[in-house]
Structure 1
Amino acid sequence: MTKSLTEQRKSTPRRMVLCTALVLAALMGGALMLPGNASFAGEGIAIPAPSLDEAANAGTETAIFAGGCFWGVQGVFQHVGGVISATSGYTGGEGANPSYDMVSTGTTGHAEAVEIVYDPSKVTYGHLLHIFFSVVADPTTLNYQGPDHGTQYRSAIFPTNAAQSKIAKAYITELGAAKVFGAAIVTTIEPQAKFFPAEDYHQDFLTLNPTYPYIVVNDLPKVADLKQLFPGDYKTNPVLVMK
């Protein structure tokens, strides 16, 4: 059963912390001091493309990325040309059929992730990685992205075959050597794990809730960065799960 927006807010308390204040600060052109080591999504960054990539063959392949809250990860890749579907879910942990409430405890080992089905003749795995590191996730923050803290919000890549693992490892090595981020990359490459789709109310969340404070502050800027940094890949109409 799809939850109402009120129920969604009750089930995602961390994501609502300071969101209203952030929106007001942004509208006023001011800065907001955050408690402790809290931080929020930054701007996209132009980085080199990977030198190693898969062949641009016709057909379909699957990629799985985790980069903090899956609302924004899904929202970005739904706007990438060549992506056939992008589904929010959970992977990398123990136990079957994880729920949002279970994963949110940070005790299951799962990460909020997005499973991407794509056409390599239109967008390759290496290019998806290029987009991931450029506009989706900060690869230098360990076990948190923006306002979301915990292992469930880690930056991670889950290769679905040996070729993807090789490409991802090579690219992280290249980016580290180039020192484009100014800090060490902590994004993990984890063995293929079973992917569990998230609840329906999490699917297409960015598209369905563009004025939701968390989306305004943390995720719409990522879509804007995609359009700016990868104009040839950006498509206006996203591919949706709940059709």
Structure 2
Amino acid sequence: MKQETAIFACGCFWGAQYQFEHAKGVIDSVVGYMGGDKEHPTYQEVKAHTTGHAEVTKVVFDADQTSYTDLCKLFFEIHDPAQTDGQGPDIGPQYRSEIFYLNEEQKKQAEEVIALLRSKGYEVNTRLTPASTFWEGEEYHQHYYDKTGGEPYCHIRTKKF
């Protein structure tokens, strides 16, 4: 098994985690915060727009079963990359569309997926940013829909690929 990690921000991390953890080849996922300037941010601080962080999902996957490119494609299918600073009913910079890449190969693959979407006429306002410190979210946010029995409102909207 070849284990790799990907980090995505695409709205509320509850729904993103749900979608990623049900994808082929995903071993684990953790929600948290990235991209801000405060150490150990709390949900309340991120929600109050005082830290600059985005809600993110860190996805650990088996690269022998799925690829980073495939996860990027899923990322773009579960949210609207044209919307800035929010997704659906969740408005604010913490809900922005952003890919935090861990190396130059991930950056290249993300750029290729974005170029493909744009060539098909999709508007993409997704930020592409080097990963910084990942701050794990509070326990009550982890695997939220599994705990509550609910189902996320984010789902595969349209097949873009």
Query: Which TM bucket (shorter chain)?
Result: over 0.9
Counterpart Cα distance in 1 of 2:101 and 2:130: 7
Q: Deviations over 1:140-187 (max 9, x none)?
A: 0011101111110001000011100011112111211211x3xx2101
Structure 1 segment 187-226 matched on structure 2, within 5 A: 187-211=126-150, 215=151, 218-219=153-154, 222=155, 225=156
Counterpart Cα distance in 2 of 1:160 and 1:85: 17
Give the gaps of 5 or more residues in structure 2: none
- Report the secondary structure of 2:130's partner residue: coil
Tell me the number of residue pairs that the alignment of Structure 1 and Structure 2 aligns. Answer: 159
Shift of 1:210: 2.8
Counterpart residue number, 2:14: 71
Give the gaps of 5 or more residues in structure 1: 1-57, 230-243
Counterpart residue number, 1:185: 124
Counterpart Cα distance in 1 of 2:50 and 2:115: 30
Structure 1 segment 1-243 matched on structure 2, within 5 A: 58-134=1-77, 136-179=78-121, 181=122, 184-211=123-150, 215=151, 218-219=153-154, 222=155, 225=156
* RMSD over aligned Cα atoms: 1.7
Shift of 1:103: 0.4
Shift of 1:95: 1.5
Percent pairwise identity? 39
Larger gyration radius, structure 1 or structure 2: 1
Q: Deviations over 1:91-140 (max 9, x none)?
A: 01112111100100113110000001111100100000111111x21100
Counterpart Cα distance in 2 of 1:79 and 1:174: 24
**TM-score scaled by length of structure 2:** 0.93
Shift of 1:208: 1.5
- Report the secondary structure of 1:86's partner residue: strand
Higher strand share: 2
Counterpart Cα distance in 2 of 1:101 and 1:149: 15
Counterpart Cα distance in 2 of 1:70 and 1:88: 6
- Report the secondary structure of 1:190's partner residue: strand
- Report the secondary structure of 2:101's partner residue: coil
Higher helix share: 1
- Structure 2 letter corresponding to 1:98: P
**TM-score scaled by length of structure 1:** 0.62
- Report the secondary structure of 2:24's partner residue: coil
